[in-house]
Amino acid sequence: MTQVNMLEAKTDLSKLVRMLETKEEDVIYLARNGTAVVQMTLIPKSSCQKRIGAAEGKFKIPDEFDAWDKEIEEMFGGEI
């Protein structure tokens, strides 16, 4: 556990984040007037995973999917 004041945190934010990433520290407290007011920790990897592709293979795009494009284009005077 490390405690730093606000000015030091502003100056050394990258350094503090690196300390968390390298597991040099588990938690860093930011203090105002000597009293801790904020706790910095790493976000667990599972919390920041993207779900892009979660439904892969569960939906098939119909062959005529783009067929409407021409009709819609004509509705807008031939230009989209």
Architecture category of domain 1-43 in CATH: 3-Layer(aba) Sandwich (3.40)
Domain ranges of the chain: 1-43
Quote the pTM value. 0.57
pLDDT value for 29: 97
- Residue 75, pLDDT score: 83
Mean pLDDT of 53-73: 78
Which residues have a Cβ under 8 Å from the Cβ of 79 and sit 6 or more positions away?
73
* Per-residue pLDDT tens digits for 37-54: 999 999 987 755 666 777
Which residues, 6 or more positions from 20, have their beta carbon under 8 angstroms from its beta carbon? 26, 28, 40, 41, 42
